[in-house]
Chains A and B, each alone.
Chain A
Amino acid sequence: MGVFDDELKALKERVLKLGSIVENAIRDSVRSLVERDSSLAREVIKKDHQINALEVETDEECIRLIALRQPKAGDLRFITTTMKIITDLERMGDLAEDICERAIELNEEPQLKPYIDIPRMAEIAQGMVRDSLDAFVRGCTKLPYEVIKRDDGVDNLTVQVFNELLFYMIQDPHTTSRAVKLTYIAKYLERIADHATNIAEMVIYMVEGKIIRHMEIPEGE
């Protein structure tokens, strides 16, 4: 069993590596907007292929382990959860890339307004990614519920950002192009938080064998 245990450990490390690259991509994408640093944005875009390659490799490793080791019970839940988690991580990488594209466009024009809520959203979303992966590594079920709850905060901020930008657009239609791009960025961050929520839900399945997707979380969990 030693070899299989080593393989599972290596798989977990791969997911963590992928997770940390994605976390950095999210952080840098928002930094490139806030600090108006388009070269940083281009760097993030250039690095997205790393995320894609690692996702494909990890997926192949999962398929190999299923075929050759016929995992059962906890091992099976770990491997199938890994396969789903990496899809979410890869999508987050794409969204970070999208943020960078909008940031490059926005950095070409004068800044519409001070960025306050968007960095806050990014911070919460990043924390959700970090904590959901931490829960995955530690097999913890308390942390995922906290992550899931934080998603509401991001959703509220998305609405707030949208309303504020709408106000700009109504007052001065010349701001529309920039306001729409910022709205997109808020939406991308909201999607990132949703993917982190997916990971948290899958970690609960991995640990407890309980599927909580599409359910209301009861108070006290």
Chain B
Amino acid sequence: MQEINKEFRVRSSEFGDKAKFIIEGLNAWFGRNQALKNINMSVKQNEVTAIIGPSGCGKSTFVRCLNRLHEEIIGARCEGRVIFDGKDIYDPDVDPVLIRRRIGMVFQKPNPFPAMTVYENVVAGLILEGRKKKSELDEVVEKFLRLAALWDEVKDKLHQSGARLSSGQQQRLCIARTLAVEPDVILFDEPTSALDPISTAKIEELMQGLKKDYTIVIVTHNMQQAARVSGYTGFFLLGELIEFDRTNKIFTNPANRLTEEYVTGRFG
């Protein structure tokens, strides 16, 4: 894999102080199975980075290593450095809970807290922090539901159960909930694969608006989606990062034959 690494057109140094993450020599395991092998990559701030690759290539594991969620699975562990804003998140003095607050995650299946109303879902993270002043919470609810492009659709249903919204609305509710704790980074793990095209388009548009203030990493099976939303794309295969470059380059003239085969649908 060493010679493949040499083909990368985008080096960490190219991002300079705009690198939100610098990932060095990242390896991850589930028990004895190695899911990620020596990943070296950077994520640029205020940019959308897409992670593509076939099922089982390690792309979800990769993003779960970026906010220390991987280690929550029994038997799972990782090694290597994930430098976030200049600090390795795997240093012993780092609190993983604080990391996950700054690096939020939106999952494939919308997962609003079912026993909570729309309103309560948005402020759940703040209440855990002990912030309970109603006027402040009201403000947060409106601000982040607007940011998640959901406010107009739910402003009259704030005190209904979040589980009663459509799945596209539930996913935007989860985005609002993630935004409400004011992270720097949002990791999206297949956020639209359970949604219809209209909801998908809304979330993709939302991402474009969010990148002004946030750094976004999105795992997606949908190559069109990667092409539409991202500025940079990493292609993973069997736990290795095969190619990382500008999205435009990946989809018009990839350097690696395996990437070419994957993006043109001739894989295998």
- Interface residue ranges, A against B (CB under 8 Å): 1, 4, 70-77, 208-209
Contacts and interface: CB of A to CB of B under 8 A. Distances in A.
Nearest to A208: B253
B135 interface: no
B48 to A, nearest CB: 18
A1 B266 CA distance: 6
A75 B262 CA distance: 12
Contact of A4 (B250, B252, B263, B265): B265
Contact of A77 (B224, B252, B263, B266): B252
B223 interface: yes
B253 A77 contact: yes
A73 B265 contact: no
Given A1-B266, A4-B265, A209-B253, A73 B224 contact: no
7 contacts: A1-B266, A72-B263, A73-B250, A73-B252, A73-B263, A77-B252, A209-B253
A71 B223 CA distance: 11
Contacts of B96: none
A1 B265 contact: yes
Contacts of A75: 264
Nearest to B263: A72
Contacts, number: 31
A90 to B, nearest CB: 25
A73 B251 CA distance: 5
A74 B224 contact: no
Contacts of A1: 265-266
Given A1-B265, A76-B251, A209-B252, A70 B260 contact: no
Nearest to A70: B224
A63 B259 CA distance: 24
A74 B260 contact: yes
A79 to B, nearest CB: 11
**Which 10 A-B pairs rank lowest in CB-CB distance, beginning with the nearest?**
A209-B253, A72-B263, A73-B260, A75-B264, A72-B251, A73-B263, A72-B264, A73-B264, A1-B266, A73-B254
Given A1-B265, A1-B266, A4-B265, A73 B223 contact: no
A196 B260 CA distance: 29
Contacts of A208: 253
A71 B252 contact: no
A72 B260 CA distance: 8
A72 B253 contact: no
Contact of A74 (B227, B250, B264): B264
Contacts of B252: 72-73, 76-77, 209
Given A72-B252, A72-B264, 8 more contacts: A1-B266, A71-B264, A73-B250, A73-B253, A73-B263, A74-B264, A76-B251, A77-B252
Given A77-B252, A209-B253, A72 B266 contact: no
A73 B227 CA distance: 12
A75 B227 CA distance: 15
Contacts of B227: 72
